Structure 1
Amino acid sequence: MSTLRRRIGRLMGARQPALQVAALCVNGDTGKVLMITSRGTGRWIIPKGWPMPGRSLAEAALQEAWEEAGVRANPGRRIGSYNYDKMQSGGFAIPVLVHVFLTRVESLAEDYPESGRRERRWVAPDEAAAMVAEGDLATLLRQLGPGPAAC
């Protein structure tokens, strides 16, 4: 959905965006970012999902990183947010606001809940920015800069 259509929808009383959380997983030694593929379309994304009852937003983001990418880490700090349109069955989309938490990866498991259903790849932040469809997420990735200083 285009930015113009989103703005028009909001002006016409469209509902507020749904909230999701994401873990921007970084290797503290190299500064590289962990990208994963989405299950449905195979697009490159960062681990993300819905908030979870009984968990802080940072803890929920970390749980998504575990389930989707096998990341072991401590909850990170919020570094920003981005918007996207989540496609639903029937061809309509809902607007989503994603809070992003910087997560320094301690280890990666080979066996995790969604192993075998996604690809994982370590890439430089500028390369990760070129891989994603969401402009605001690309901006967050570029702001990390090269090397390990981001963590």
Structure 2
Amino acid sequence: MLREFLRNWSPRVEAVPALRQSGALPYSIVNDRVVFLLVTSRRTGRWIFPKGSVSAGMTPWDSAAKEALEEAGVTGEVGTNAIGSYRNSDKGLLVDIDLYPLRVDAQFDAWQEMDQRLRHWALLAETRRLLADRSLARIAEALHRQLTVRRLMQ
């Protein structure tokens, strides 16, 4: 029981604003199924969602959309409310990252970081398996639930 609690526990501690980042959780609906777009990190090659520092003069969600274009070569409609947050270590510093849903409407064959990253579309089960960070998987699950409920109500 304690192991389960610790595995799912994530304290919400306010970070220094300079140490807060934003990211996109790119998704699409294909044949009535939610699929997520993952990219590999440059440093470790682990599967993640596009993220980065909030660009000066941009909202966090617009900055997240910019990261999705640079890192995954996709554009779309970005949500203005974060679907979730997680904490990551970046060069020894703890950084809080807010993820904004991005419904992809265009994918490009060439993009800025195409030589540095792989990208991969996956259903929820594969997304869970590929994401090394359990917090990212929980955020993807939350968006999947939200989108599934919304589709059932239509």
Q: Take 1:98 and 1:126, find their aligned partners in 2: how far apart are those partners?
A: 23
Q: Kindly provide the amino acid, as one letter, of the partner of residue 132 in structure 2.
A: A
The aligned residue for residue 117 of structure 2 is: 118
Identity of aligned residues (%): 31
TM-superposed CA distance for 1:132, in Å, is: 1.8
Instruction: Tell me the alpha carbon deviations over residues 5-61 of structure 1, each in whole angstroms, 9 at most, x when there is no partner.
Output: xx9xx9xxxx94510111000013331000010111111000000001111100000
Q: Which amino acid aligns with 1:80?
A: G
**Could you say which residue in structure 2 is the equivalent of 1:128?**
127
TM-score (norm 2): 0.77
Among 41, 48, 52, which residue is 1:49 paired with? Answer: 52
- Letter matched to residue 20 of structure 1: Q
- Once the two structures are superposed, residues 54-112 of structure 1 have per-residue CA deviations (whole angstroms, 9 ceiling, x without a partner) of 111000000000000001112223211111112x2xxxx11010001011000100111
Is the aligned partner of 1:80 residue 2:79? no
Number of positions where the alignment pairs a residue of Structure 1 with one of Structure 2: 134
Tell me if 1:64 matches 2:63.
no
> For 2:112, what is the secondary structure of its paired residue?
coil
Going from structure 1 to structure 2, the CA distance change for 1:144 and 1:125 (only over 3 Å counts) comes to: farther
d(CA) in 2 for partners of 1:75 and 1:144? 13
Q: Which runs of 5+ in 2 are unaligned?
A: 1-5
Q: Tell me how far 1:136 sits from its aligned partner.
A: 1.7
Q: C-alpha distance in 1, partners of 2:83/2:15?
A: 22
Where do 5+ consecutive residues of structure 1 fail to align?
none
Counterpart of 1:143 in structure 2 is 142
Residues 84 and 96 in structure 1, CA contact (< 8 A), matched pair in contact too: yes
Say which structure is richer in helix: 2
AA partner of residue 27 (structure 1): S
- Over the residues paired in the alignment, what is the CA RMSD in angstroms? 2.4
Q: Distance in 1 between matches of 2:52 and 2:125?
A: 23
After superposition, give the CA deviation of every residue in 1:95-143 in whole Å (9 maximum; x if it has no partner). Answer: 0100010110001001111112211100012321222222221111122
TM value normalised by structure 1: 0.79
